[in-house]
Amino acid sequence: MKELVDLFLTFARIGGFTFGGGYAMLPMLQKEVVERRHWATEDELMDYYAIGQCTPGVIAVNTATFIGYKLRGIVGGIVATLGVVAPSIVVITIIAAFIQGFAHIAAVNHAFAGIRACVCVLIFNAVLKLAKKALIDKVTVALFCLILALSLFTSISPALLVIGAGVFGGLYGKIRRMGGAKQ
């Protein structure tokens, strides 16, 4: 029971102290789940991000579910998911009750603009950390460049890009194991 409470409180803190959506949670997930709690390795967390990206829902919620499930099965998945969404539900309910009263105030609009700028930096930092672990050779760098170009210049679904990259990685790994490709 103590582990479930710890799981809930950890994800509630992550959900309560990150702003800007699922991607903004990535740095805090990295710090809490990998570095502090050792609930997952960096590779596992990157796999959870990838799967979370191509499944329905918010990436941080999906990742919390995967980690909770890994630790304590179905109950752990439910507890971690409830933990990460509970702060948002409370805060959004409060804001919804009062938003009409202060949404027009210039200071509030400026504060939100500042928060959005900060969120961009947090997401960029998470991307840099992921890139250091994921871009390990010329093939992964080339794949990154291809996926970046496709995501910027086409309307291909991110889920299809993730699936395509996974298929490519699987095929490339199989070819390398068969001795048909050099590093």
Per residue in 1-48, pLDDT tens?
Answer: 899 999 999 999 988 877 666 677 778 888 899 999 999 998 898 888
Which range marks the domain in which residue 70 is found? 2-134
Q: At what angle do helices 42-53 and 59-102 cross, to 10 degrees?
A: 60
The list of the chain residues with pLDDT below 50 reads 181
What is the number of residues in the chain? Answer: 183
Say yes or no: 181 and 113 in one domain.
no
Is there a contact between 74 and 24 (Cβ–Cβ < 8 Å)?
no
User: How many domains does the structure of the chain reveal?
Assistant: 2
Say yes or no: 113 and 71 in one domain.
yes
| Listed residues 134, 151, 174: the one ending a domain | 134
Say yes or no: 82 and 99 in one domain.
yes
Say yes or no: 28 and 83 in one domain.
yes
